[in-house]
């Protein structure tokens, strides 16, 4: 693929601003020339090594517009969003990709602008959002060999003006959602859905423990409230906890005010414990979460914000008749089922802040160092 570097921007916000000032002409041309319907070249962000082969940085590059082959659709991207898995991408060496320079981000929504021979799922003009595994996992259990196809690493991501992929790797955006809202669904939304409903079989009135107010937990809050369950959410911010209560949270716990927050969770459940945990904290939160389990509880092992690791003592699960499930997001069928639920309940994802395409490095910096609730989105 022919490419021409238009600018490489480091992660740090101040440094990014300095480079923006240092190269006003080139970046002004970028801002004034968004992709046209018949453009032969497009812009995309790529991971690349920094100066003298240093830590990974983001580079905005101009590349040839990709064209759809048999069974593929061409999508003009309109929005993407960041997830926990993007947090460490700019720390250390760049992620390797057999497909060439790595395009960031797993989540993205846009409009179909071209279809290849044999495409039957979509037509030009359809609004779509990409699936996490890019069409390699359609239904059932995760097949062997699909991990290299995860969008945003190792597979190619969505932070590009135009992407091409298998028609099986996209689903329609719920009609009532904007592109920015649709772009939040792929990873955090499906992970929360699968943890609560597919593996947890969430029922009305059951207590749900949600750790923090990031993407997965925010979707968990929306889903649990819509299902008539009783979510309890933790945060270090009283402001975010107040917002969570406005959205229907049954209970809230400030884990800075209550370092042993598991006791407050048990108090809120009158000692019964929670039937569901969306475990996104990892090593530091898991032991406390296990202390909150009700009989027959389910723990969805999703993330490791405090580090991966930690033990799940057999005695704890055995004593509580509980279960724990580890999984990687979900299938296309899971995504479609979640979207039916979202449409039926007219749910709207929580979007905290939207950045412009040219400000992608600032979006990364804000996601890593900023204070937000829900999702951080980049608009194209």
Q: What is the pLDDT along the chain (380 residues), one digit of tens a residue?
A: 444 334 333 333 333 332 222 222 222 223 334 565 567 999 999 998 877 767 888 999 999 999 999 999 999 999 999 999 898 888 777 766 666 789 999 999 999 999 999 999 999 999 999 999 999 999 999 999 999 999 998 899 999 999 999 999 999 999 999 999 999 999 999 999 999 999 999 999 999 999 999 999 999 999 999 999 999 999 999 999 999 999 999 999 999 999 999 999 999 999 999 999 999 866 678 889 999 999 999 999 987 554 455 667 788 888 999 999 999 999 999 999 999 999 999 999 999 999 999 999 999 999 999 999 999 999 99
Length of the chain: 380
Q: What is the pTM of this model?
A: 0.88
Measured from the Cβ of residue 320, the count of other Cβ atoms closer than 10 Å reads 17
DSSP count for the chain of H helices, then E strands: 11, 16
Give CA–CA dist 163/152, Å, rounded.
12
Helical segments of 229-268, H only: 238-246, 261-268
Give CA–CA dist 286/290, Å, rounded.
6
Give CA–CA dist 107/124, Å, rounded.
20
Domains of the chain: 3-187+331-379 (3.90.180.10), 200-326 (3.40.50.720)
pLDDT value at position 221? Answer: 98
Give CA–CA dist 87/67, Å, rounded.
30
E-state strands within the chain: 3-9, 41-49, 56-64, 72-81, 107-115, 127-130, 162-166, 170-172, 207-211, 230-235, 251-254, 274-279, 293-301, 323-326, 351-356, 375-379
User: 């039937």: which residue's tokens?
Assistant: 275
Parallel/antiparallel/unpaired status of strands 72-81 and 351-356: unpaired
CB 152 within 8 A of CB 85: yes
Parallel/antiparallel/unpaired status of strands 72-81 and 107-115: antiparallel
Parallel/antiparallel/unpaired status of strands 323-326 and 56-64: unpaired
Question: SS3 letters for 156-192?
Answer: CCCCECEEEEEHHHEEECCCCCCHHHHCCHHHHHHHH
Measured from the Cβ of residue 34, the count of other Cβ atoms closer than 10 Å reads 14
Give CA–CA dist 12/90, Å, rounded.
10
Q: Look up residue 93 and give its DSSP letter.
A: S
With 0-12 / 13-18 / 19 or more C-beta atoms within 10 angstroms meaning exposed / middle / buried, residue 244 is buried
């Amino acid at each position: 693929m022919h490419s021409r570097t238009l600018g490489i921007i480091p992660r740090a916000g101040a440094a990014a601003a300095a480079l923006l000032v240092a190269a006003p002409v080139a970046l002004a041309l970028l801002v004034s020339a968004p992709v046209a319907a018949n453009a032969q070249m497009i812009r995309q962000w790529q991971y690349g090594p920094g100066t003298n082969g240093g830590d990974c940085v983001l580079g905005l590059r101009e590349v040839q517009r990709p064209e759809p082959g048999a069974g593929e659709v061409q999508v003009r991207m309109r929005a993407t969003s960041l997830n926990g898995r993007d947090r460490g991408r700019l720390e250390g060496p760049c992620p390797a990709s057999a497909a060439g320079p790595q395009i960031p981000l797993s989540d993205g929504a846009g409009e179909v602008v071209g279809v290849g021979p044999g495409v039957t799922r979509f037509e030009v003009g359809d609004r779509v959002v990409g699936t996490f595994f890019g069409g390699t996992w359609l239904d059932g259990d995760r097949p062997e060999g699909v991990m290299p196809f995860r969008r945003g690493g190792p597979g190619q991501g969505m932070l590009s003006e135009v992407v091409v992929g298998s028609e099986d790797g996209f689903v329609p955006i719920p009609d009532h959602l904007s592109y920015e809202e649709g772009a939040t669904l792929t990873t955090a939304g499906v992970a929360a859905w699968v943890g609560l409903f597919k593996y947890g079989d969430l029922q009305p009135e059951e207590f749900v423990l949600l750790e923090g107010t990031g993407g997965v937990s925010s979707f968990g809050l929306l889903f649990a409230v819509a299902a008539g369950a009783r979510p309890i959410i933790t945060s270090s911010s009283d402001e975010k906890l107040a917002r969570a209560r406005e959205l229907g949270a049954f209970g809230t716990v400030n884990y800075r005010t209550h370092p042993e927050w598991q006791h407050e969770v048990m108090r809120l459940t009158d000692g019964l414990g929670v039937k569901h945990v969306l475990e996104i904290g990892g090593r530091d939160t898991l032991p406390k979460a296990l202390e909150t389990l009700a009989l027959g509880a389910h723990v969805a092992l999703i993330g490791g914000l405090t580090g991966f690791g930690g033990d799940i003592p057999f005695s704890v699960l055995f004593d509580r008749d509980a279960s724990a499930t580890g999984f990687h997001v979900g299938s296309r069928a899971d995504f479609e089922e979640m979207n039916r639920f979202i449409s039926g309940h007219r749910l709207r994802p929580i979007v905290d802040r939207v950045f412009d395409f040219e400000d992608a490095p600032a979006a990364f910096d804000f996601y890593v160092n900023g204070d937000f609730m829900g999702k951080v989105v980049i608009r194209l």
